[in-house]
Amino acid sequence: MIKHGVSGEHRSVVSVPEEILPDVQQQLKFFLCWESGRTGLSLLLLFIGFFLGRFHLQKPVTKDATTNPSLILNAATMPKYKEILDRAVAWGKTLGDEDDSVSKTVDKMFVEFGCEILKIVPGRVSTEVDARLSFDKEGQIARALRIIDMYKDAGVSKDRVLIKLSSTWEGIQAAEVLEKEHGVHCNLTLLFSMAQAIACAEANVTLISPFVGRILDWHLANDKSKTSYEPSEDPGVVSVTKIYNYYKKHGYKTVVMGASFRNTGEVTALAGCDLLTISPKLLAELEKSEAAVPAALSMEKAKAIEDLPKVEMNEKVFRWMLNEDQMATDKLSEGIRKFAVDQVKMDKMVQEMLKA
C-alpha cells in the first residue's frame, strides 16, 4: 500500500498485487507527481508498454507513457510482442527498395508501440528520435515530423505525442522549431546540467528530464572519498533543485521531470517537483513507509530566492558552460552512445526481417 502526503493530510493510496510485482518490475515505469503548491501526492503509472494487460488498479491513475530505444529493443525481441513488430515490417516491405527503408521501418515500429500504448493511457506517449542525429538539427526536425506524420496516418493527433530529443545544442534548437513552427511537443532527455536546462527553457520546450541518479553515479565514480551522500547533498538532487528553482523564479513554463533515481532519499528530497519518475524497486520501498512526504520544492520557495540571476543563453554560452561541466559532458556523450548502440541493433534486426 502506497501512502504519501504532507503532514498527514490528504493521502493517495494505490495497491500493487504481490503476485504480479515481478511483471510490474519488468514492464512498467512509475511516475510520481507532486503538484506544486498542493498537499498530497498523485501517482501516475507510466507504461513503458501496454504490455501488462492483467495489471489493474481500483481507480484509473494511468496518464502518460514513455519509451526509449533500449526499452523498445528489449520489447521487440520478446515473442509476445511479435505482432507489433510484424506489422511494422509488413509496412516496411511495401516501401520496396526505397531509400532509408530500414530507418523508416524502425520509426514505424516505434509508432506501432506508441499507438498500442495510447489505447490504454489518456495522455501522451513519448517517442524518441534516433540518437545518431543528436548533433544534426535539421535531421532531428525531419525525423520528428516523419514520426508525427506516421502517428497522424494511424489516427493519432500530435497533441498526444511527445518527441524525445537529446539535450545537445542542436537537439534543443530542433525542439524550439518543432514547438514554435509545427506545434509538436518535445521531451528533452539526457539532461545533466544547468546549461542544458536554461537552453531548453529559453526554447520553450514542453518538458525536460534531468537524470538525478546518473549524476550521482558520476560523482561516486570520480570522487573516491565519497561512498554516499545525504539526500539534500546528493549532487543529482542539488542539480534538479537548482533547475526547478531557476524555472519557477524566472517564470518558465517548461515542466521539470526528475528521472533516474538511485534511492528513496533522492525521491523524497525532490518532493514538490513538477514530475518525478521512480523505478518499481524504489516504489516498493516507498510503499512500506508510513512517513509523510513534505514538499521540499515549491513555487513560493523558489520565488523567495534572491541570488538567482537570469543567464543570457546563446550557443557560445551553452557550449562553454557545458564544456566546464565535466560530469554533464561525460554523461551526455555516454548516454547518446548507448542509445545509438541499441538503435544500430534495431536497424540490423529490422534489416534482416525486411529481407526475409
Per the CB < 8 A criterion, the answer to whether 330 and 57 are in contact is: no
Query: Superfamily assignment of 72-185+332-356 in CATH?
Result: Aldolase class I (3.20.20.70)
Q: Would strands 275-278 and 28-33 be described as parallel, antiparallel, or unpaired? A: antiparallel
Give dist(CA 348, CA 112) in Å, integer. 18
Residue 36, pLDDT score: 32
Residue 69, pLDDT score: 79
Catalytic, 226? Answer no
What's the grid cell of residue 52?
501488462
Residue 207, pLDDT score: 96
Catalytic one among 164, 248, 249, 331?
164
Residue 23, pLDDT score: 42
Burial (CB < 10 A; 0-12, 13-18, 19+), residue 233, is: exposed
DSSP string, 45-79: EEESSS--TT---SS--B--EE--HHHHHHHHTSG
Rounded to a whole number, what is the distance in angstroms from the first to the last CA of the chain?
Answer: 49
Beta carbons within 10 angstroms of residue 9's beta carbon: 9
Look at the block and give the residue holding cell 555516454.
Answer: 334
Read off the DSSP letter of residue 255: E
Residue 77, pLDDT score: 82
Angle formed by the axes of helices 101-118 and 69-76, to 10°? 90
Beta carbons within 10 angstroms of residue 347's beta carbon: 16
Q: Would strands 65-66 and 42-47 be described as parallel, antiparallel, or unpaired? A: unpaired
Residue 91, pLDDT score: 96
- Provide the residue-wise pLDDT of the chain in tens; the chain has 356 residues: 333 333 333 333 333 334 434 444 443 443 333 333 332 333 333 333 233 333 332 233 446 777 777 878 888 888 888 899 999 999 999 998 877 999 999 999 999 999 988 988 788 899 999 999 999 999 999 999 999 999 999 999 999 999 999 999 999 999 999 999 999 999 999 999 999 999 999 999 999 999 999 999 999 999 999 999 999 999 999 999 999 999 999 999 999 999 989 999 999 999 999 988 777 788 788 878 888 888 999 999 999 999 999 999 999 999 999 999 999 999 999 999 999 999 999 999 999 999 98
Give dist(CA 4, CA 25) in Å, integer. 21
- Phi, psi angle pair for 168, to nearest 5°: -85, 170
Domain 192-324 in CATH 3.40.50.12780? The answer is no
Cα dihedral 153, 158, 164, 165 in deg (nearest 10):
90
In degrees, rounded to 5, the angle at the alpha carbon of residue 337 between the alpha carbons of residues 233 and 26 is: 70
Q: Give the bridge partners for 12, in sequence order.
A: 4
CATH 3.20.20.70 boundaries in the chain: 72-185+332-356, 192-324
Give dist(CA 92, CA 5) in Å, integer. 49
Residue 27, pLDDT score: 39
